[in-house]
Copies of this chain bind each other. A is one copy, B any other.
């Protein structure tokens, strides 16, 4: 069971909405909308994606990292390292 198991529906809905926003971007390009307006919409989709990412990070720390830490110090440490590397990749986007 993953940390996000209890919120699967929420994540599914958010991702479905993001999928719709990406289709909206394609429509904006098709209809020759103004570059800056398309950029503004890209910022909004990216924010929605980051929101999903932060949610997953939250659950990961709250569940997976904690469980690993409860089983052994070494496993807990490995999970923390992995989580920080994930944050680093998020920051580098």
Contact = CB atoms under 8 A, between A and B. Distances in A.
Copies of this chain present in the complex amount to 4
A91 B54 contact: yes
The DSSP consensus for interface residues of chain A is: helix
Given A38-B56, A66-B76, A26 B16 contact: yes
A65 B91 CA distance: 21
Contacts of A45: 49
Interface string A26-63: 10011011111011101101110110111011111110
A72 to B, nearest CB: 12
Interface of A: 1-5, 8, 11-12, 15-16, 18-19, 22-23, 25-26, 29-30, 32-36, 38-40, 42-43, 45-47, 49-50, 52-54, 56-62, 64-66, 69, 76-77, 80-84, 86-93
